[in-house]
């Protein structure tokens, strides 16, 4: 029994200390303003890796999710003779929930795991150490550009996802099942509001961007520098970010809607 | 060069994001900057527009001829005024036409149906043009009113029947 | 010891994962000389380099670099100080996504504002010094282990540091590459006057070029002196390590309960 309590305590202390390390790491990364000239090209490269290369998966998933919503929504609303509300059904569910959440989940799988693996690899091959000994802080040079790239890319990807999803719904509802385009968009416009729906969506996706990117970077930076350590860290990234995103989504939804 | 390509693509990515955000705000949230000039506008006053919405379709005999562009309230009479944008190619609609608000299905979307009136120059009728009012209008059927009317009528009928019976007896 | 020292390790104790690695260790590294740190595997020879570079913090004691306690510095000052030291890692630790040229140019780009022309000159000069100018446009994955180490050496001297630390430079190299590296280390010390610390267990190679030798074992200094003094030492433990004897004061058998017969 004492053993059990002891091991629980040790586990708790371990988690606490890793939380502490990640916070320290965060402050060293974010509250530094290195020269723009040197950092900007690095940031551009990272937005390319993190954002641009995720576009395809985001657009394709957005399209399919929108189409499925259109199809399911139409069939259900038909029973109530209320297919006119398809637009608001599709747009609200995508903008309020599916857009930011699914984008963030895909982002965690696509970009987050890659970030963890990359940084873990840099650590395992002593490249981070070498950089440190060359008086270049890896937190500024490696971690910071990736962090900001994630924070910038995820909201943009979410917006793209929402737009593509809504047009996917239109594709099915209007072009295939014959709902009037005006009704689709008018019911959407009368229910979606800039301040009540679009701004909260942006707030959500920025928060998810923070959670995803940070978890990925910290796991990579803090992993055991072996191949097993890297694979564990990559798994941890995907699991922790997914849970983090879903939990945070509930809190944010409760606060904002 | 690898870097230059990435730079261009990132630029495109940002641009795409901005465009998507704008489209989302305009088209989906309905911040309409309507620049469509191929319409002419006519107005119609109703007693009650039910749940008619902006951008709802306007039809003649089921054919789409335009859309509701704005819904306002007349300042003096406090009755709803609907602004209708009709495509320019439908320019021969008589001023004696009737506009009524109808419902697609029982609880479906509401739209405006226009029943064309007669056209006779000697009688002083004209074609509708920009800024005209449609005088003859039929308000939306509000379900609750219909039901209460029906219930009220049937009660009256029962009373009448009862009176008749009393008379015959 | 009557020489001017660049680094003073004073009374340092350090433990990692509940294992005591150093106990009251004291060293001093002479300026402008090659100091060899020898010792059997697992005595934490690399750790001493990381302590000097302040990547690790000792539990007790202090390390002075040119009179400055490296562990008392704030982050910014520490990075300033690190510009004066450099380290050659066991694997070379070249940046895998850059060519050899870019690797060597990296510290220069980060810490100086040289024009592109001047930068190219400096980089090629450094690469020439290690005989790697022809490999400037190769990627690290295309290099052999020895070439990677030479390229990393060019990178570590690019910023003209006061101190170069070599972490096991000879491990896994063929005799010719070993010879090349020995010569390079000696040349860099002689012609550029850089203080060098070489951590290794290749006794023969390092005794040829070292000016001063420390032998570490069990967390403290086992023996020290010039190579001659070490070779003529009478301490049996030092002798065992230098000659590579199979058995001696350091037992071949791992210590444990001796029930070998019973196990059979």
Nearest in space to C38 (alpha carbons), one of C204, C239, C216, C174: C216
Residues B45 and B19 in one domain: no
Which structural domain, as residue segments, surrounds residue A73?
40-256
Residues B140 and B115 in one domain: yes
Residues B24 and B95 in one domain: no
Residues C238 and C169 in one domain: yes
Mean pLDDT: which of B137-141, C120-124, C243-247 is highest? C120-124
Residue B128 lies in a domain: yes
Residues C70 and C173 in one domain: yes
What are the DSSP calls for A34-50, one per residue?
--HHHHHHHHHHHHHHH
Residues C166 and C255 in one domain: yes
What pLDDT shows up at residue C204?
Answer: 80
Residue C90 lies in a domain: no
What pLDDT shows up at residue C250?
Answer: 64
**Is the pLDDT reported for residue C153 higher than 60?**
yes
Residues C9 and C118 in one domain: no
Please give the helix or strand (H or E) that residue B7 lies within, else none.
helix B2-23
Average pLDDT value over all residues in chain B: 80
Mean pLDDT: which of A109-123, A186-200, B19-33 is highest? A109-123
* HSE value, Cβ hemisphere, 13 Å, CA-based, for C9: 25
Neighbouring chains of C at 3+ CB pairs under 8 Å are: A
Nearest chain A CA: its distance from B14 CA (Å): 8
**pLDDT single digits (tens) C67-89:** 888 888 888 888 888 888 888 88
Between CA B148 and CA B169 the distance in angstroms is 32
Residue B167 lies in a domain: no
Residues B5 and B68 in one domain: no
pLDDT band at B38 (very low <50, low <70, confident <90, very high): confident
Residues B26 and B96 in one domain: no
- CB contacts of C53 in chain A (<8 Å) are 132-133
| Residue ranges of chain A whose CB lies within 8 Å of a chain C CB | 28, 38, 125-127, 129-137, 141
pLDDT, mean of residues C39-55: 79
Range name among A137-146, B93-102, C228-237 with the lowest pLDDT average? C228-237
Question: Any alpha helices (H) in C1-86, and if so which ranges?
Answer: 45-52, 75-82
Residues C142 and C21 in one domain: no
Between CA C175 and CA C170 the distance in angstroms is 9
User: Do chain C and chain B touch with ≥3 beta carbon pairs under 8 Å?
Assistant: no
Residue C149 lies in a domain: yes
**pLDDT single digits (tens) A76-131:** 988 887 888 888 899 999 999 999 999 999 999 999 999 999 999 999 888 888 88
**Is the pLDDT reported for residue C252 higher than 70?**
no
Residue B160 lies in a domain: no
Residues B142 and B107 in one domain: yes
Residues B56 and B10 in one domain: no
Residue A98 lies in a domain: yes
Number of domains in chain A: 1
**pLDDT single digits (tens) A20-29:** 888 888 877 7
User: Which residue of chain A is at minimal alpha-carbon distance from C153?
Assistant: A130
What pLDDT shows up at residue A228?
Answer: 92
Residues B20 and B43 in one domain: no
Residues C257 and C169 in one domain: yes
A133 closest CB neighbour out of C86, C90, C95: C86
pLDDT band at B31 (very low <50, low <70, confident <90, very high): low
Residue B7 lies in a domain: yes
Residues C217 and C230 in one domain: yes
Number of domains in chain C: 2
CB contact under 8 A, A126 and C89: yes
Residues B130 and B66 in one domain: yes
Domain final residue, candidates C160, C180, C211 = C160
Residue C92 lies in a domain: no
Cβ–Cβ < 8 Å for A134, C82: yes
| Chain A with chain B: Cβ pairs closer than 8 A | 106
**Is the pLDDT reported for residue C248 higher than 70?**
no
**Is the pLDDT reported for residue C257 higher than 60?**
no
Q: Would you say the C-alpha torsion C29, C35, C38, C42 has a positive or negative sign?
A: positive
Q: Looking at chain A, which runs of residues are DSSP E strands?
A: none
User: Do chain B and chain A touch with ≥3 beta carbon pairs under 8 Å?
Assistant: yes
Between CA C256 and CA A218 the distance in angstroms is 41
Nearest chain A CA: its distance from B73 CA (Å): 18
Residues B59 and B86 in one domain: yes
Number of domains in chain B: 2
Reported residue count of chain A is: 257
What are the DSSP calls for A125-142, one per residue?
TTHHHHHHHTT--HIIII
Which among C51, C106, C110, C169 is the top mutation candidate for probing chain A, defined by the most A β-carbons within 10 Å of its own β-carbon?
C110
Residues C176 and C64 in one domain: yes
Residues 162-191 of chain C with CB under 8 A from chain A are none
Which structural domain, as residue segments, surrounds residue C133?
99-160
Domain final residue, candidates C128, C143, C160 = C160
A133 closest CB neighbour out of C87, C106, C110: C87
Cβ–Cβ < 8 Å for A229, A237: no
User: Which residue of chain C is at minimal alpha-carbon distance from A39?
Assistant: C110
- CB contacts of A132 in chain C (<8 Å) are 53, 55, 82
**pLDDT single digits (tens) B48-89:** 888 888 778 888 887 878 888 888 888 888 888 999 888 888
Residues C217 and C147 in one domain: no
Residue A123 lies in a domain: yes
At C168, which CATH number? 3.40.50.300
| Chain A with chain C: Cβ pairs closer than 8 A | 58
Which among B7, B10, B50, B53 is the top mutation candidate for probing chain A, defined by the most A β-carbons within 10 Å of its own β-carbon?
B10
Between CA B113 and CA B60 the distance in angstroms is 6
Q: Would you say the C-alpha torsion B65, B70, B75, B77 has a positive or negative sign?
A: positive
Which of C46 and A106 is assigned the larger pLDDT?
A106
Residues C140 and C213 in one domain: no
- CB contacts of A82 in chain B (<8 Å) are 105, 107-108
pLDDT, mean of residues B14-28: 87
Cβ neighbours of residue A40 under 8 Å, at least 6 residues apart? Answer: none
Which structural domain, as residue segments, surrounds residue B70?
39-146
Residue B125 lies in a domain: yes
**Is the pLDDT reported for residue C255 higher than 60?**
no
Residue C256 lies in a domain: yes
Residue B109 lies in a domain: yes
Average pLDDT value over all residues in chain A: 89
Residue A30 lies in a domain: no
Residue A4 lies in a domain: no
Residues C134 and C230 in one domain: no
Query: A63-95: string of b/e by CB count within 10 Å (b at 16+)?
Result: bebbbebbbebbeebeeeebbbbbbbbbbbbbb
Burial class (CB in 10 A: 0-12, 13-18, 19+), A231: middle
Domain final residue, candidates C160, C183, C201 = C160
CB contact under 8 A, A133 and C110: no
Residues C18 and C126 in one domain: no
């Amino acid at each position: 029994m004492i053993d059990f309590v002891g091991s629980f305590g040790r586990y708790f202390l371990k988690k606490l200390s890793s939380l502490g390390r990640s916070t320290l790491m965060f402050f060293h990364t974010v509250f530094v303003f290195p020269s723009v000239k040197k950092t900007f090209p690095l940031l551009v490269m990272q937005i390319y890796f993190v954002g641009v290369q995720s576009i395809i998966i985001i657009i394709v998933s957005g399209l399919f999710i929108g189409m499925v919503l259109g199809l399911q929504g139409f069939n259900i609303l038909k029973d109530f003779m209320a297919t006119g509300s398809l637009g608001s059904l599709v747009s609200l569910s995508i903008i309020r929930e599916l857009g930011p959440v699914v984008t963030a989940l895909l982002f965690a799988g696509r970009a987050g795991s890659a970030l963890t693996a990359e940084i873990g690899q840099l650590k395992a091959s002593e490249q981070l150490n070498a950089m440190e000994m060359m008086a270049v802080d890896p937190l500024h040079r490696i971690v910071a550009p990736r962090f900001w790239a994630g924070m910038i890319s995820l909201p943009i990807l979410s917006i793209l996802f929402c737009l593509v999803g809504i047009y996917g719904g239109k594709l099915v509802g209007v072009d295939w099942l014959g709902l009037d385009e005006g009704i689709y968009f008018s019911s959407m416009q009368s229910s979606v509001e800039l301040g009540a729906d679009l701004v909260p969506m942006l707030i959500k996706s920025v928060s998810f961007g923070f959670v995803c990117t940070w978890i990925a970077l910290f796991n990579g930076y803090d992993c055991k520098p072996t191949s097993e350590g890297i694979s564990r860290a990559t798994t941890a990234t995907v699991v922790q970010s997914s849970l983090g995103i879903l939990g945070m989504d509930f809190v944010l939804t409760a606060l904002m809607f | 060069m690898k870097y230059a390509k990435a730079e261009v693509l990132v630029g495109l990515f940002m641009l795409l994001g901005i465009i998507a955000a704008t489209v989302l705000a305009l088209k989906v949230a309905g911040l309409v900057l309507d620049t469509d000039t191929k319409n002419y506008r006519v107005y119609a006053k109703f007693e009650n527009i039910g749940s008619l919405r902006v951008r709802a379709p306007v039809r003649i005999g089921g054919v789409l001829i335009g859309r509701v562009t704005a819904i306002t309230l007349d300042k003096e009479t406090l009755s709803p005024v609907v602004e209708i944008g009709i495509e320019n190619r439908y320019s021969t609609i008589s001023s004696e036409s009737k506009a009524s608000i109808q419902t697609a299905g029982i609880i479906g979307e509401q739209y405006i149906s226009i029943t064309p009136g007669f056209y006779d120059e000697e009688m002083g009728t004209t074609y509708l043009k920009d800024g005209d009012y449609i005088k003859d209008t039929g308000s939306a059927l509000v379900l609750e009113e219909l039901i209460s009317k029906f219930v009220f009528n049937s009660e009256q009928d029962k009373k009448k029947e009862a009176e008749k019976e009393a008379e015959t007896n | 010891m009557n020489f001017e020292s660049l680094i003073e390790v004073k009374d340092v104790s350090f433990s990692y994962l509940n294992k005591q690695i150093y106990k009251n260790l004291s060293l001093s590294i002479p300026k402008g000389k090659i100091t060899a740190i020898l010792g059997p595997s697992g005595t934490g020879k690399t750790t001493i380099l990381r302590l000097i570079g302040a990547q690790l913090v000792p539990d007790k004691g202090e390390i002075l670099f040119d009179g400055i306690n490296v562990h008392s510095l704030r982050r910014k000052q520490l990075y300033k100080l690190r510009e004066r030291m450099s380290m050659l890692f066991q694997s070379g630790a070249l940046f895998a996504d850059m060519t050899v040229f870019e690797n060597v140019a990296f510290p220069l780009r980060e810490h100086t504002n040289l024009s592109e022309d001047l930068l190219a000159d400096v980089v090629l000069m450094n690469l020439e010094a290690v005989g790697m100018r022809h490999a400037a446009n190769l990627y690290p994955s295309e290099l052999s282990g020895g070439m990677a180490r030479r390229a990393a050496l060019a990178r570590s001297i690019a910023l003209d540091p006061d101190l170069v630390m070599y972490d096991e430079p000879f491990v896994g190299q063929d005799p010719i590459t070993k010879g090349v590296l020995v010569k390079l280390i000696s040349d860099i010390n002689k012609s550029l006057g850089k203080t060098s610390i070489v951590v290794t267990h290749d006794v023969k190679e390092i005794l040829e070029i070292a000016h001063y030798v420390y032998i570490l074992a069990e967390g403290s200094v086992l023996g020290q002196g010039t190579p001659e003094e070490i070779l003529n030492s009478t301490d049996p433990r030092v002798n065992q390590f230098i000659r590579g004897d199979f058995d001696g004061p350091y037992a071949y058998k791992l210590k444990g309960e001796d029930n070998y017969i019973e196990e059979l």
